Each structure stands twice: as C-alpha cells, then as structure tokens.
Structure 1
Amino acid sequence: MVPIILAIAAGCVALLFAAFTAIRVLRADQGNEQVRAIGDAIREGSNAFLRREYMALVPFVVVVAIVLGVLIDWLTLGQVIPRTAISYLAGTICSAVAGLVGMSVAVRANVRTATAAIQGLNPALRIAFSSGTVMGVTVVGIGLLGVTILYVIFQDITVVAGFGFGASSIALFARVGGGIFTKAADVGTDLVGKIEAGIPEDDPRNPGVIADNVGDNVGDVAGMGADLFESYVGSIIAAIALAGVTSYNAGTAMLPLLLAAAGILAAILGTFVVRSGERADFGQLLWALRRGIFASAILVAIFALIIVLVMDSLELKLFWIILVGLVAGIVIGLSTEYYTSYDYGPVKQIAESTQTGAATVIISGIAIGMVSTIIPLIAIGVTILVAFELAGFYGVALAGVGLLSTLGITLATDAYGPVADNAGGVAEQAGLPPEVRERTDALDALGNTTAATGKGFAIGSAALTSLALLAAYAVAAGLSEDGINLLTHTTLVGVLIGAMLPFVFSALTMKAVGRAAMAIVNEVRRQFREIPGIMDGTGKPDYARCVDISTTGALKEMIVPGLMAVVVPIATGFILGREALGGLLIGAVGSGFMLAIMMATAGGAWDNAKKYVELGNFGGKGSDAHKAAVEGDVVGDPFKDTSGPSLNILLKLMAIVSLVFAPVFLKVTPLIDLI
C-alpha cells in the first residue's frame, strides 16, 4: 500500500508545483497595450481551435466508449459495470485537461517572455522555461494519478489499459489536427510572405502570421503534451501488465509507479538548476537546459537504486534496466541534436548545398534524415537486448518507464520552444527594440534544437512503449507461451500490412497539410490583392480569417488518419486473427520507428540550415541560397511537425487498441478460418 500512497502523493505534489509555477508566470509583466493585443489574438485563436477540436471529438469518444462497454465489458468479460469504458473516458478527459492546461499557460507566457526580454536574456528564459515546466509537470502528475487511482479501484491492469486507449485517442487527434493546423499556417504564410512578397518572418503585414503563432501552441504544446502523456501512461500500464507474468513478485508491479513518482521529484528539483548568464551564447543557453535534464537523470538513477535496495523483494538487476533506459533517452536526444543543430557538420552540409538550389537542399536533407536512424536504432536495440536478457519483456517495459521517468523536465525543455518562438513573433509585430528580437531569436534558436531533441526522445519512447504494449498484448491474447510465428501466412500478411501503415498514414497527413496550406496561400494572396495598404502598413490584414481556414482544414483532414489507426488493427484481429495482429504491430514498429526518426531529423535539419544561412552564411537573407533554404524548410515543416511526430501515436494507439480488444479476439474465430 505504501507504493500506492507515494505515487498518489507524487502526483498531487506535481499538480501543486505546476499551479505554483503557473501563478508565478502569470504574475509577470504583460507588456504594453500593443503587445497585449497581439497576445490576446493568439490566445483567442488557440482556444478557439482547441475548443472546436474537443467538441468534434465528443461523438467519436462517446461511440468508442459505448462499443467498449457493450463488446468488452458486458459481452466478453460479463461485467455489470463497464469498467473498460469508464477507464477509457477517464483517459480522454485527463489527456484533454493536460493539453488544455499546458496550452493555456503557454499562450499567456509568450507576451510575458517578450516583455521580460526587454530586461535581459535570463528573465525571458526563466518565464519561457517555467511555462514549459507547467506543461511537463502537469502531464506526469495527471498521468501518474490517473493510472494509480484506476488501478486501486479496479485491481485489473487490462481494464486500466482503457485509460491508455483514451489518452491515445485524444493524443492522435491533438497531434494530427494540431500538426496539420500549424504546418498549413506555417507553410502557407512562408510561401507567400517570405518567397513571393519578400517580407521577413513574423511581419505583421502578413495575414497568416497570427495563424502561424496559434499553430505553435496547438501543435507543439498541446499536441506534444498529449503525445508524451500517452507514452508515459502506456509505458506504466505495459510494465504493470507484464509484471503479472514474470517470475518475480508483487513488488515488480509497484516498481513502475515508484519510479514514476521518483521521476516527478527529480524533474521538479531539476527545474531549479536551469538558468543562464546575461550574455550567454547559444552553447551556454543549451547547457543551461541540459544541466536540468542531466541533473534529473542522475537523481532518478539515485532514487531508483534506493528503491531497489530498500524493497527486499526487488533484485539489483532491475536498477541496471532502469539505468539503461535513462541512458538510451539521453543518447537519442544527443544524436538528434547532432543531426539538427547548426553547430555540427550535417546541418552545415545542407546549408552549403543551398548554393546550388532547392533540389540539392532537399536531397541532402533526406539523406541526412536517413543516416540519422543509425544511433537511435542502436540505442533502442541495446536497451531491448539488455532489458530482455535481465527480465524478459517486463524489463523492456521497465526500460521504457526509465526512459520516460525524466519526462517532467524533458517536456518542459520542449514546450519552452513554442513560447520563445511566439515571443519573437510578438516582439516583431509590436515593434519592440531590436535587442529584444535578438534575445528572443537566441531563445528561439535554442527552442528549435530542444524541439528536435524532444521529437527524437518522443520517437524513442514511442518505440519502447509500443514494444512493451505488444508484449502485453501477446500475453493478453494467449500468444506469449509459443510466441508469434512469423512464418505463418496470416502473420506474414500482418507484418506487411503493418510495415505499410506508417507510409500511408504519413501520406495522408502530408497531403492534408498540402491541401490546407493551399487554402492559406490563396487567402493570403487574396488579402494582399484586395485589402488596400497592407504592404505599406496603412491597412490591417484579416488575421482571424486565416485562423478559421486553418482550423476548418485541420479538423476535416484529421478524421481519416485517426480512424485508420483504430479500425485497421481491430479489422485485422477479426479477419486474420490475433497472431496476424501481432505481426501487424511488429511490422508497424519496424518501419514506423525508422520513418519517424528520418522525417523528424530531416525536417529539423532543414529548419536550422535555413537559420544558419540567415546568420549571414552563403549570402545571408534575401540571397538565392536563402530562398533555396526556405524551400527546404517548407518541405521539412510537415516532416518534422506533422507526419513524423504523428507516427509515434499511430504505433502506440494500434498497440493499445490491440491490448484492449485482446479478450474479444481470444473468444472469436477469425473470418479467414471460416472461409
């Protein structure tokens, strides 16, 4: 009972700390009237999108809850109380609340960060990072509380898997919908503003500029938060589920909860060491954030060792598994940083290729994205080998919990980026002094690197979580004793279907961005053409119209990819059987992990290659090299902010859907056997 109490206490401490940090952020100066007006427009657009997105999801959530209650709880498990359906609804609500809280603070922190940048770099960094901290700590607090309380109430982790399904449902639509919104606005705004009209980024004359700022919040704050919330709860659920089939004792089921609680404490302590000097350069700013992550990782390792030594029922080798997971997360983050930061060779190679046009920029970016898969694959591969050797699939799941144990601060460094980006936009649009824009640009460049690192971390955690959920599915579907035979014809077909799905899913999301961006391009062109005085600053663009177009396009385009992630695994289980569904999950993880890393890294590298050129290299802003770099960045936008990150959720959602429906597949004969 002590581990349960500690887990609940840690969750409550996390939420109290998030509330305290949010209050501290909101007490900061909002700036002059013009700054506040721009902030209000961004906040209203962000809230309108999230409100419409959540309302659009209500019918889907209700239908799925009814299906779970009838098909699983009543017909399959024979339960009077629809426990799986209740867990599912709890998961959707918790995920939505976590995203809403994080975004609500982020859209208020942008103007405060811009205003703080008037005083100096460190005050601006503190506000932006504190805003990210609210998101990070809220996600881990709500996630740990939700899983623990439902586990205490129902005493059945397969029922609690419904909580993970609910979190996944919201995460997919938040990530896909937010990703389509942000990149449609970004691509459309850049194509007309930068390339056609030749005006700078975040210029208030561009009608799409507010939609672009809104997109940073709905995609990179709410979307990323929902994504990692899902990974976090999924890894804990998988570890507890697999603890029941290990040769260990009840202590192994409580270890994931204790580790998550230790991670919350470590993340909170880690936030206090993030600070910078007033004249800090890029490297010093990066080290300020790294210091917080490394401090948290060291504290988690110490706490994990204490937990394993204090609990007599646990063996020391479980500590080594946790340590391997922690190290894997850091290695993946550093690898992503190497391939996406302009301090290193890969991005400089792309920047150099801008001298010969957009085609060579795109070729070199894709090549670097492909080669960047090697180190993350080795990190995840070594983690799986060590963890499985020491504790079977429970070890793999525990390594996933270890990797995600520092999520509170890792997500904080990631969610900080959009706030810094927005602050730069606010400074530009409000006409604040040039040194303010220089400071926000320094924070924004850092945010681009932390965002790319965060995406690598999210993808690595998704791979481990998906594999752990796959193992939990195999146990629940009665496949764990003999294993999944990949040489049967149905399983081979399942593997091929699974390998195909990430490509189809990516195609759907990229085409969605393209269609929505075309609508923004046409609208921005129309306003430049029809509204007099925009270019000379005497006429005001209709910002709200671009926000509305992006919102409508994103909500319409997210439906098909979202349904595919739920329908395909269920259909495979009913038609080809539970073993073929296991094959589908294996194929999807194999191709999806590689594709996600490639797309996220290539997109981040293109983005920072453009920034490297803008620093004055190869001709600087306005040169032909800069135009080629911008085109590469525009191609990379849906890669790194829509399709790549959305694949994380596709993998986890299909695995959790399979786990939730495993009791049904155990009782029904697949359609192929009836033919």
Structure 2
Amino acid sequence: MSILFNLTFFQIASIVISLLAFGAAFWLYKWVSSQPSSNQRIAEVGKLIRNGANTFLAKEYKTLVRFCTVAAILIFIFLPVPVWKGNVLDNVIMAVSYILGTIFSGIAGKIGISIATIANIKAAEAATKGIKPSFMSGFRGGAVMGMAVVGSSLLGVTLVFLITGDTTALLGFSFGASSMALFAKAGGGIFTKTADISADLCGKVELGIPEDDPRNPAVIADNVGDNVGDVAGMGADLFDSNVASMAAALVMAAALDKTAGGFVNAAMVFCYAAIGLFASLIGVLSARMKEGGDPTRALNTNTYVTTAIFAVLTAIATYAFDFKWEIWAASAIGLAVGVIIGIASDYFTDDRRPPVHAVAKACESGPAFTILSGVSYGLISALPSMIGIGVSALAAYKICEPLGNGYAMFGISMAAVGMLSIVGMIISNDAYGPIVDNARGLVEMGSLGDEALEITDSLDSAGNTVKAVTKGFAIGAAGLTVIALLGAFMSEVNTAATEAGMISAGENYIQGFDIINPVVFFGLLFGAAIPAVFSAMLMLGVDRNAQRMVAEIHRQFKEIVGLKEGKADPEYDKCIEIATHGAIKELIPAGLMVIICTILVGIIGGVQAIGGFITGNIISGLLFALFMSNSGGLWDNTKKYIEAGNNGGKGSDAHKAGVVGDTVGDPFKDTAGPSINTQITVVSLVASLTATIFLTFSLFG
C-alpha cells in the first residue's frame, strides 16, 4: 500500500505541520520581543500588568489542578466503564488523556499571556512611529497565541489517537480541554469585567476622568483582565472547540471506517485539519498593513486570504487522495457559513453600521433607551447566525446522506472541522484586540502624545470590531461542533449497545430523539434552562466582585491624600487582589452545576433524556451566546462612537448613557456570552463519556 494512502502518513504530516506552527510562534515571539521599547513609565506599568496576569493565572491554575485531580480520579474509577467491570488499562488511558487535555490547554493559555504582556508594550511605543509598526506588533503578538493554540490542539489529538487508536480516549482528551476552557473562560471573564466595570463607573461616570487615567486604582486590574479574559480565556475556548470538532469527527470516522474497512475517513479528518493549520500559518506570516491603511480591513483581508488558501488546498488534496467530494463540500459550506456569521456579527457591532448609530441616537434620551435598543438589536442579531448554523448543518447532512448510513452526521462534523479550519487566524485576530487595548492604555499612562493615542484608538476600534466577529465565529463553530458531538454521542451509545449485546452488529440502538417521548422532553426542557442559569451565575459573580472593587476605589480616593490631584500613586495591587480572589471563588460553582446537572439527567432518564438535554442545551445556549455577545459588542462600540465626537461626544448625557450600556454589556460579551459555547461543549462531552453507564442504568430510561 502506498504511503500516500496510509493513515500514519497523515498523522505524521499533522505532527510536522504542528511543529512548523510552533516554530512560527517562536519566530514571531522573538520578532515582537526584539521591537524597541525605552519608555521607563510604560515599562513600569507593563511590568505591573504582567505580574498581575501571572499572579492570577498561577492562582487559577492551582485551583484547577485540584479540581482536575479529583476529576481524573473519578474518570479512572468510572470511565469508560466502572474499573471493577472492565479493563483497568482502558480507564488509565482515559484518565491520562483527560490530564493531557488540561495540560495542553493550560500551556496554550500561558504562552498567550507571556507574549501579550510583551506585545502591548511594543505596540504602545511603536505608535509613536506610525500605525503600521504598531499594528504589526499587536497582530504578530496575537499570532503567537494563534499558532501555539492550534499547533497544540492538532498535535495533542494526533498523538492521543496515534498512541491509543481509541476514539473514546480522544473524547477524554477533549473533555480535559473543555473543562479547563470552561473554568479559564469563566474565571478570566469574571476578573476582566469586575475591573472594567469598576474602572468605568468610578472613573468615567463619577469622576469624569479618562478611561486609562493612572489615578484610577482599577486601571491596572482592567488591563490585566484584558489578558486573562480575552487572551488566555478565549485561547482556551477556541482550543477546546478545535479539539472537540476533531474528536467528534474522528469518533464518527472511526465507526464508518470500521464498517467499510480501511481508514479513509479518519485520514480525511487529519488531512483537512493539517491543511487548515498550514493555511493559517501562511496567512499569519504573509499578513501586512500599509502605512495609513485601515486596520479592520487588514485583519479581515488576512482572514479571507486564509479561507481561500484552505478551500483550494483541500480541493487539491481531495483530488490527489481520492477523498469523497461530498465531504469536501460539507467542510467548504462550514467554512463559508463561519465567514457569513462573522459578517452578521460585524453588521450589528461595527460603529460604521446603522445599529450602532441607532443606539447612539437612543443614548441621547437616557440609559433606559440605550438598554432597550441594545437588547433589541442583540436579539435580532441572533437570527442570521442561528439560520446560518442550521443551514450549514442541513446542507452538510443532505449532501453526505447519499454516501450511506452514518455519513450524514459525519458530514456535519466535517462542516465543523471546516469552520474551525482557519482558527489559527481567528485566534490571531482575537488576541490582537486585547493587546492593542492594553497598548492604548499604556500610551495614555506613558504620555506618548495625542498622535500616538489616535493611532492606538484606531487599532483598538478595529480590535473591538474584529473581536465581535471572532466571537460570532467561535459561537457558530461551537454550534456545529456540538451538533457533531450529538452524533458522536449517538455513535458511542450504539457501539456500547452492540458490545453489551442489546442490539446486533450493524443495527442502531438510537437513530434520533422523539420529542413527544416524555423522557426526551424532560431532558429538552432541563437542557434549555441550563445556559440561562449558567449565565446568571457568572454575571452575579461579576456583580458581587465589582461592588467590592468599587468600594475599594472609593476608599482609596477618600484616604490617599493627593490621589485625585495626581500627586500620589493608587494601590493598584488591592484591586488586582480583589479581582483575583473573587474570580477564583466564583468560577467553580457555575462549572460544577453544568456537569452535575448532566449526570443527574442521565441518572433520571438515561440516554434518551440525555439526547433531549443536549439538544435543548444547544439551541438555548447558541441563542443566549449570540444575543449577549452581539449586544455587548454593540454597546461597547456605541460608547466609542459617541466618544469620537458623535451624538454629543465625551462628557455629554448621551456619553454617560453609553457608558451605562457598555457597563451592562461587559459581562454579556466578555463573561457569560463566550463562556456558553464552552458550556454546551462540556455538556455534550460529559454525555458521550457517560453514555455506557446511562445505557445500562437509569430510573426512567
């Protein structure tokens, strides 16, 4: 058999391309680090931000190590089957795979923090020389994160599958990544929005001082939050989605290959994932912006170039290796819909578009109208993305259905792989946002001049716009991924039922879920309620934490003589400490609630109820995530649009109403919204991993 048609060939190619991505990340890291920086004040503030971010990450990881240790022990005891009933080695492999998933995710987050806290300083000082060098420092800093995250995810999945040959172990690896992402995103989101809300309310609203005024005790915590929430948190989130999409596709591919003989479907998954990373690698290294150019256009152009490279290379690979063109079409549809979802998010959040202008106009009438209009546009914005996810799933299903039994759901999983194929570029764009946001604050605190401030304002505005697009993309990708995971859950149940002698080989124990069945409907309702409760728990955590920080800011302005006049330094570390302790305290309960409820539904209603639970969770979760992310992005850019001199400008009543809207939107877009897509992935993975247990034991299943 030719090496070109050997599964090992594609796995080795995936490892090589992963290593190339790490090499590119290292080169980009060195390039950013070598950029000049000499401003002493910026160096001091940058060090405070870096120390604060590392302190939080160390405490968060210490907490998560304890949680993951307990989880690994429970996985060893009960999965894939209770240790006293099955092969002990299978349980060991599952536990080790889970631990590896958490480690790979944690390393990716640490790399992101390391470069982001260097790139912010470099981008700030580069702004004195022009928009191009500042943009390149910010983008290449984000690209380190992009290459590291996707390289880690592809390498991890490939190694686990290559060594174990076990798709259930892949689900264990994916669950490790998901549990880490759930807590990293929730904890980082609570930290960043605690500081952001407190800094805005006390600074802009109460005292009328600028956003990044060094007199504000919360300003350093706010900048730290940008890194732990929007860099480490979002990196863990997209690492999780990428791993989950590949794991779901490989579970179904392995089942199809087992029936048909050979390995062509598994080879296709590795081939497409490797090409996606290679396309992102080319896109990142070739990214440029002309002096005086538009940073938003430059970021979007990079994305479109990467998309085109992936589409062309996968078509060539499909022809060369005689893969099925229907599967290629499914992945291409997923990729196209990902771009469409991004464009829809852009329309509702870009300050050049009508929705932002309409909300800015509403701000002139007061905060109540700001909230009403923002909520309304956020709800409307969910429709095109929900339809896009539905259309891509339907199209992929129908295109691949004629290929035979099981290929329809495999087509959906490959649409998810296609949508996430350019995730390296998406993460690069996303991490660029908090880097240039930090750079803007450093320019203000380092007094680098109005021209540098205008440049970083322009870069920050582009970051906010593109960040809204990448969040929409991440949520859409999570939607397709969890639909694929629903297929993986059904595949796991059918395989377990066959091994248990409940059905004959080739038969299906589950082909779908009848919502008229009261057990399924019970799970559907329960699952639909979880995203709402999960969101409330996170936002209440922000609320409680922000109230403590506001009280601390008031204390400092009252007790520190000369602080208001700028003659004394605030105690920045106090605010960082409040945000850190509060985030660590609040992050575990919400995540545990999700896992416990999934297991509870399985105990009550078995695999049928779990199927309904996953379905309800997907639909409700996607709706909440899209609504909150887009509303929050809309309010954020409305505030910036007013600050640019529109609808009364800074200091006007409309501006104060815009700040209130932005404050409400902060936990929407940066805490709850982007955490929900991780939550629905966790639910689907827990369900798949426990499928065998609930197939044989439940109260009413």
Please classify the TM superposition score into its range, dividing by the shorter chain length. over 0.9
Work out whether 1:268 is the aligned partner of 2:277: no
Deviations 1:238-260 (A, max 9, x none): 00111133376521112111111
Contact 2:72 2:95 in 1 (8 A): yes
Find the counterpart in structure 2 of residue 88 from structure 1.
98
- Structure 1 range deviating more: 477-486 or 625-634: 477-486
Contact 2:296 2:463 in 1 (8 A): no
Q: Matches of residues 514-553 of structure 1 in structure 2 within 5 Å?
A: 514-553=543-582
Q: Partners of 1:422 and 1:482 in 2: how far apart?
A: 50
Find the counterpart in structure 2 of residue 452 from structure 1.
468
Superposition deviation, residue 480 in structure 1: 5.8
Contact 2:490 2:511 in 1 (8 A): no
Contact 2:167 2:254 in 1 (8 A): no
Q: Matches of residues 82-121 of structure 1 in structure 2 within 5 Å?
A: 82-121=92-131
Superposition deviation, residue 481 in structure 1: 4.2
Q: Which residue, 627, 645, 658 being the options, matches 1:598?
A: 627
Find the counterpart in structure 2 of residue 466 from structure 1.
482
Superposition deviation, residue 482 in structure 1: 3.3
- Structure 1 range deviating more: 375-384 or 352-361: 375-384
Work out whether 1:436 is the aligned partner of 2:445: no
Find the counterpart in structure 1 of residue 327 from structure 2.
318
Q: Which residue, 2, 13, 24 being the options, matches 1:6?
A: 13
Superposition deviation, residue 75 in structure 1: 3.6
Q: Partners of 2:658 and 2:151 in 1: how far apart?
A: 41
SS at match of 1:37: helix
Contact 1:273 1:291 in 2 (8 A): no
Contact 1:172 1:227 in 2 (8 A): yes
Superposition deviation, residue 189 in structure 1: 1.0
SS at match of 1:671: coil
Q: 1:80 to 1:631 in 2, by over 3 A?
A: same
Find the counterpart in structure 1 of residue 531 from structure 2.
502
Q: Which residue, 28, 33, 41 being the options, matches 1:34?
A: 41
Code of the aligned partner of 1:580: A
Q: Which residue, 469, 477, 484 being the options, matches 2:513?
A: 484
Q: Which residue, 268, 271, 275 being the options, matches 1:255?
A: 268
Q: Matches of residues 82-481 of structure 1 in structure 2 within 5 Å?
A: 82-246=92-256, 250-280=263-293, 284-312=294-322, 314-391=323-400, 392-478=408-494, 481=510
Deviations 1:365-417 (A, max 9, x none): 00000000111112111111111112211000000000000011111011000
Work out whether 1:48 is the aligned partner of 2:55: yes
Q: Partners of 2:391 and 2:434 in 1: how far apart?
A: 33
Code of the aligned partner of 1:324: I
Code of the aligned partner of 1:152: L
Work out whether 1:669 is the aligned partner of 2:697: yes
Deviations 1:433-461 (A, max 9, x none): 11111111110000000111111011001
Superposition deviation, residue 274 in structure 1: 2.5
Deviations 1:267-305 (A, max 9, x none): 11112342222222xxx2211111111111001001111
Task: Give percent identity, aligned residues only.
Answer: 43
Superposition deviation, residue 79 in structure 1: 2.9
Q: Partners of 2:353 and 2:592 in 1: how far apart?
A: 40
Contact 1:31 1:111 in 2 (8 A): no
Superposition deviation, residue 53 in structure 1: 0.0
SS at match of 2:512: coil
Q: Partners of 1:644 and 1:482 in 2: how far apart?
A: 32
Deviations 1:12-67 (A, max 9, x none): 11111111111111111233111100000000000000000000111110111011
Q: Partners of 1:593 and 1:643 in 2: how far apart?
A: 12
Code of the aligned partner of 2:692: P
Contact 2:72 2:99 in 1 (8 A): yes
SS at match of 1:218: helix
Work out whether 1:19 is the aligned partner of 2:29: no
Q: Partners of 1:463 and 1:566 in 2: how far apart?
A: 19
Code of the aligned partner of 1:550: A
Name the count of aligned residue pairs: 668
Q: Partners of 1:211 and 1:40 in 2: how far apart?
A: 12
Q: 1:480 to 1:641 in 2, by over 3 A?
A: farther
Code of the aligned partner of 2:171: A
Q: Which runs of 5+ in 2 are unaligned?
A: 1-7, 401-407, 495-507
Code of the aligned partner of 1:557: E
Superposition deviation, residue 426 in structure 1: 0.6
Contact 1:50 1:218 in 2 (8 A): yes
SS at match of 2:324: coil
TM-score w.r.t. the length of structure 1 is: 0.98
Q: 1:77 to 1:137 in 2, by over 3 A?
A: farther
- Structure 1 range deviating more: 246-255 or 598-607: 246-255
Deviations 1:551-598 (A, max 9, x none): 000000111101012111112112221110110000000111011100
Superposition deviation, residue 671 in structure 1: 2.4
Deviations 1:315-363 (A, max 9, x none): 1111111110110110011110010001110111000001100000000
Deviations 1:83-132 (A, max 9, x none): 11010000000000001101110011111110111111100100100011
Find the counterpart in structure 2 of residue 566 from structure 1.
595
Contact 1:238 1:472 in 2 (8 A): yes
Q: Partners of 2:654 and 2:466 in 1: how far apart?
A: 26
- Structure 1 range deviating more: 562-571 or 581-590: 562-571
Q: Partners of 1:218 and 1:58 in 2: how far apart?
A: 17
Contact 1:308 1:318 in 2 (8 A): no
Q: Partners of 1:487 and 1:475 in 2: how far apart?
A: 22
Superposition deviation, residue 431 in structure 1: 1.2
Q: Partners of 2:344 and 2:677 in 1: how far apart?
A: 18
Q: Partners of 2:513 and 2:85 in 1: how far apart?
A: 23
Code of the aligned partner of 2:533: V
Q: What is the alpha-carbon root mean square deviation over aligned residues?
A: 1.2
